[in-house]
Structure 1
C-alpha cells in the first residue's frame, strides 16, 4: 500500500506544520477538510471551496452509496469527475452514519446490516465493501477503515469489545485495500475516554501498517474538556511520522486546542451547517445574523477574512436575507464560514512556522472568552 510522504517542517511544542503529499496535490497541515456529504460542499461551488483555501475535501460513503449509488458514480468517472473537485479527497467509511441510525441497524462480527433512511431498503456494509466503495468506486485518494463507533458514555467493557472489533476490521480493510500506487488508507483509534483502551487501540492501529491514523469516538457528546483529555491520553502512543486526524471536530476553539496537542487534520460540517442557520464564525467569535441588532449594521462580516462574502456584504443585508428567507443568505454565510475556517488553519500554520503559535493560542482564547463566544462544553 502506498504511504503518502508526510513532511513535518516546523514544530512548536506539540504543534506541527508540514505537508502531506498526494498525487493530486499537497495538503498543507494542519488542514481542515470541508465536508462534501452528497458530492457537494453544501451551498458552495467547488471553485469557491478551492478559492477559500481548502486543499482537500471529504466525501461521504454512506450518503453516496445510497444516492446516486457508488456504482453509478464509478460509471460516471468517479467522485472527482462527478463533483468537479480536482484536488485530494478523503472519504469516510460510512461507519459513523450507520452507527447514528441506531434502531435501523444490526451489527455482527463481519459487518453491519442497515436500512436506508431514504427509502427503508436494506444494505450491508463490511470492511471489504466499504473499501470497494471508497477506493474502487468513488476513487478516494484517502480511504478510511470501517470501524465500530462507540456510544458516549459507555462502559469499559463495551469500549474494549468495540475497539477489538475495530482492530479486526482494520486488518480486513487493509487486506481488501491491498497494494495501490496512488491511494492510501487510514486506520481509526477507538477506546472511548479510557486511557488504557486508547493506548491499546493506538498501539494496535499503529502496528497494522496504515498510511495515517485517525482518532475516532470524538465529537459524540463528550464535551470540549473531555475531547482535549482524550487527545492528551492518545497522542503519546502515536507514531510521530504519520498524519494524525481527529474526525468530526469542530469549533474554532476545538481546532486550536487540538493543533496544540499535535493533530494534523480535521473535518466537520459546522461551517456550512452554521451558515445555513444564520451563524457566522469570525475572529471575534460567532455572530447570529438573525438577531435584530444587525438590522442596521453596515459593517462587513469580518474584513480580516479574504473572501468576498466576508468583505463585500453588510451584516444588515445578510440579516435581511435570512429574515426574507432568501437562498443567498445561507450561500454567503456558508462561503464566509468556509473561508474563515481555512483562514484560521492558515494562521495557525504561519504561527507555528514563525514560533508564535502559543501566543496566537492565548490571544484567540482570550478574545473568544472576552466576547463570550467560547463554546460551551459540547463536542
Structure 2
C-alpha cells in the first residue's frame, strides 16, 4: 500500500510519467546495457529489444502497477505479479538485479523529466518501484524454493518431429540420467542456446507433452520477422539442433494452469502456436477423467499450418463431453470453418472457465466475445508469447 503522501504525488504525476515512459525506458535500457552488456548478450531477448516490445512491456507493467495502487489501495495486482514472477524465475532473475534496474531506471527518469523530478516525486516513485520489486522478489523466492533452487539443467534431444513447415517438436531427457520433475499442464520452460556469435540467448516454450511423461516435450515455431528481426533462437533450433544435441532447460514455470473440479465446464481457445499449452491441458484432462464439457477452439492460417492437430483432436476424443471447433483463414476442410475464430454458434455453458493462448489481437477478440456471452472476466485466463504488453485485459 502506498503512503497517503506518495499516492497523491503519484496520482498527480502519473500522466506526465505515462506520457514520457517510452523515452524513459529507451534511456533505461541504453544505460543498463552500456553498464552490463552481458545482460543483452545472455539474458534479454535481442529480437524483442530490436523490435521495441520489451520496452513496451516494462513501461506497461510499471504504469499498470502504479494505476492499480491508486485505484485499489488495499489490493495487490496478484495476477500481474504472478505472471511476471514466473517469467523472471524461469530466467533465473536474482533479487540483486532489482538494485541494478533501480539504479538505471531512476537515472533515466531524472534525465527525461529533469527538474520535474523533485525530491517528493522521486520518493513517491521510488516507493512504487520497491513495492513492486519486493512483491516480485517474494514470489520468485517461493518459486525457487518449490523447484529446490535448481537452475538450468542440460537435456539431450532424443527425438525431433517435424509438425509443419515451421513447427518442430523436440523431446528431451536429462543428460545426467536423473528424473524429470512433474509439471502442471500449461506451464513452460526456458531454453538456452549458444548462438554463432557466442551469445547465450534464452527463450520460453510451452511444454506440449502430457504431464507425467519421462521426457520434456516442446514444440517450436520458427519466427519469421517480417517488419521485425527473425527469431534467433527458433531459427537456431530448427537449423542446428538434432537428436544427440544438448540444450539447457529450466524447471517448469507459468501460472496459466487448469483449476476447478472434474465437472467444471472448460473452454480452451488457441491460435497458431498457442496450441501448445492447450494440447498439454487436453492430455491432462483425458488422463484425469474430466467429466464436464470441454470446448476446444483453434484458429490457424490453414490445416497445413495447424501444429499438433492430431494430438489435439485425439485427446479431445477421449473426453466424454468435448467439442472441437477449427477455423482456418484458407483451405478450410469439411467440418471446419473459414475465417478467424468466432464464438457465435458455439455453446458456452454457465460457469465456464476459459483458457486462451495466442497473439494479442486473438486474445482481445475472444476475451470480449466470452465476456459478452456471460463468462466472468475473472474466469478468462490467458498466455501471450513474447513480452506481455498488458493490453489483453483492456
TM-score by length of 2: 0.27
Tell which structure's C-alpha radius of gyration is larger. 2
Considering Cα pairs closer than 8 Å and 6+ residues apart, tell me whether 1 or 2 has the greater RCO.
Answer: 1
